Chain A
């Protein structure tokens, strides 16, 4: 960890932080929703990487913690709306796991707002774009994660 010089800190102050976000999207709704946003040619923040899981219920605290450990500034988990789950109760399981994760990252000292659970259906392309923009703005406001060793700035 190199010590930051005054000049560098000044430089960073005037620049905008570019967050690095990991998104876990379920195969049946949210991943298709993201696809829909692309097909509709909606312009939105490119600071996220999607990892497709078969169901949001596949997400365990380990997934989110690994992403944070590797330096992600925020983690978004997205699945089908209640009642729409391809596996019937998968998203209810996701809620349980997410609550556990939230408690763990709070004890670890991360801000609660760094992780988020959302429901996006395959038809909600515009909502997906809106959600990503909103989450990126939220993480930009929070600043880089304490475990992000190489935060990027722009502008």
Chain B
């Protein structure tokens, strides 16, 4: 009982005013009426020895922090969910893993120091990388997504990695790309598997320190937030600066020469880049600097952006599909022909929204921020 009490205290749950703003904005609550952040919190507050961790709804939270953004007293709801999940993991429980759990097994396997991956096969002759240097490109899960999703969704996740190196090369930077890089552990952290997360963190920090990198660039907001904030929180030492590629592009926008693209785009703020890291303007400034690109904002944008429907590859269900579909419709209604995201996972989830016989096909192109910038580069 004391453990639940500690978790509630740590995450400011006793300050809850029961105003219900969290439930009003929660994307899950909008479609699954049995889910409510306020009620899940209240169940903890009126705990009285009930079994709180067996509830499957525990795994539904997207940890998108839209509720925390609106909370007048800053209850840390996502963190409370993580702590309760860690408790559930101790009791041998877990959520419904999507994709047969394959992606979770990959993350857990990567925590073994004996594993020697072949993850740099995508680097071709046109891309310049090195083994040691100041700037490191942290690729993340893209090589695995390439193997897993490229056939099903007819897109090349690895093109995001290629285009990131292309942009960095254009700016005169030769990034370090590690072959012994491991999963950053973001998903395991939010699923409460903190031991495996710590193990991955230690291995990654050691590998990065070995290359002597002072700046780590990522094209994935989840990797960025993990390297920047979560490693500091759990492991206490991060001896480098972490930047998302959109920040690098925005800083060096004068050095980039663009050709005309003629595109009407809308931008999906990934929750980790927006609400976690407060990067809203960098990707917008970078994309609108391209001549011919017109940005049409969706009804929910920036701080109010709605999540892509699934996180951590867990509890993907009909609710996730509905969130994705409504988001795509929103982009369409804003007048965009292409929806740009800065997170590879958002793109995978939106591509999945049109799959299946029962779902409505929404005619909108999807692409990554990096792909747009790289395709507009002149020379």
Q: Give bound CA distance, A96 to B147, whole Å.
A: 12
Whether B109 lies near A69 (C-beta < 8 A) is yes
Whether B105 lies near A69 (C-beta < 8 A) is yes
Closest to B97 in A: A62
Within 8 A of A (CB), among B186-230: none
- Tell me if B33 counts as interface (CB < 8 A to partner A): no
Within 8 A of A (CB), among B145-166: 147-148, 151
A62 and B148 in contact, given A108-B117, A109-B116 (Cβ under 8 angstroms)? no
Q: Which residues of A contact B101 (CB under 8 A)?
A: 62, 65-66
Whether A104 lies near B109 (C-beta < 8 A) is no
Whether B115 lies near A61 (C-beta < 8 A) is no
Q: Give bound CA distance, A69 to B114, whole Å.
A: 12
Within 8 A of A (CB), among B87-102: 97, 99-102
- Tell me if B119 counts as interface (CB < 8 A to partner A): yes
- Tell me if A146 counts as interface (CB < 8 A to partner B): yes
- Tell me if B112 counts as interface (CB < 8 A to partner A): yes
Within 8 A of B (CB), among A90-112: 96, 99-100, 103-104, 106-109
Q: Which residues of A contact B106 (CB under 8 A)?
A: 65, 104, 108
Min distance, Cβ A7 to any Cβ of chain B, angstroms: 22
Q: Give bound CA distance, A103 to B102, whole Å.
A: 13
Q: Which residues of B contact A63 (CB under 8 A)?
A: 100
Q: Give bound CA distance, A146 to B114, whole Å.
A: 6
Q: Which of B100, B109, B147 is the one whose CB lies under 8 Å from A147?
A: B109
Within 8 A of A (CB), among B14-51: none
Do most interface residues of chain B lie in helix, strand or loop, or is the interface mixed? helix
Whether B118 lies near A107 (C-beta < 8 A) is yes
A96 and B151 in contact, given A109-B115, A109-B117, A147-B114 (Cβ under 8 angstroms)? yes
Min distance, Cβ B325 to any Cβ of chain A, angstroms: 25
Whether A69 lies near B108 (C-beta < 8 A) is yes
Q: Which residues of A contact B147 (CB under 8 A)?
A: 100, 103-104, 106-107
How many chain A residues touch B (CB < 8 A): the figure is 20
Min distance, Cβ A139 to any Cβ of chain B, angstroms: 17
- Tell me if B133 counts as interface (CB < 8 A to partner A): no
- Tell me if A37 counts as interface (CB < 8 A to partner B): no
- Tell me if B144 counts as interface (CB < 8 A to partner A): yes
Q: Which residues of B contact A133 (CB under 8 A)?
A: none
Whether A65 lies near B109 (C-beta < 8 A) is yes
- Tell me if B143 counts as interface (CB < 8 A to partner A): yes
Whether A60 lies near B102 (C-beta < 8 A) is yes
A60 and B100 in contact, given A65-B106, A109-B117, A146-B112 (Cβ under 8 angstroms)? yes
Whether B117 lies near A147 (C-beta < 8 A) is no
Whether A107 lies near B144 (C-beta < 8 A) is yes
Q: Give bound CA distance, A83 to B131, whole Å.
A: 51
Within 8 A of B (CB), among A61-80: 61-63, 65-66, 68-69
Within 8 A of B (CB), among A117-155: 146-147
Min distance, Cβ B198 to any Cβ of chain A, angstroms: 17
Whether A65 lies near B105 (C-beta < 8 A) is yes
Min distance, Cβ A53 to any Cβ of chain B, angstroms: 12
Whether B148 lies near A100 (C-beta < 8 A) is yes
Whether B102 lies near A62 (C-beta < 8 A) is yes
Q: Which of B99, B105, B115, B119 is the one whose CB lies under 8 Å from A146?
A: B115
A107 and B105 in contact, given A100-B151, A146-B112, A147-B114 (Cβ under 8 angstroms)? no
Q: Which residues of B contact A99 (CB under 8 A)?
A: 151
Min distance, Cβ B103 to any Cβ of chain A, angstroms: 8
Q: Which residues of B contact A107 (CB under 8 A)?
A: 117-119, 121, 143-144, 147
Q: Which residues of A contact B114 (CB under 8 A)?
A: 1, 146-147
Closest to B122 in A: A107
Within 8 A of A (CB), among B65-88: none
22 residue pairs of the A-B complex, CB under 8 angstroms, read A60-B99, A61-B102, A62-B99, A62-B102, A62-B105, A65-B102, A65-B105, A99-B151, A100-B147, A104-B106, A107-B118, A107-B119, A107-B143, A108-B106, A108-B109, A108-B110, A108-B117, A109-B116, A109-B117, A146-B112, A146-B116, A147-B115
> Residues of B at under 8 Å CB distance from A?
97, 99-102, 105-106, 108-110, 112, 114-119, 121, 143-144, 147-148, 151
> Residues of A at under 8 Å CB distance from B?
1, 60-63, 65-66, 68-69, 96, 99-100, 103-104, 106-109, 146-147
Q: A66-B105, A103-B147 are in contact. List 4 more A-B contacts (CB 8 A).
A: A65-B109, A69-B108, A108-B106, A109-B115
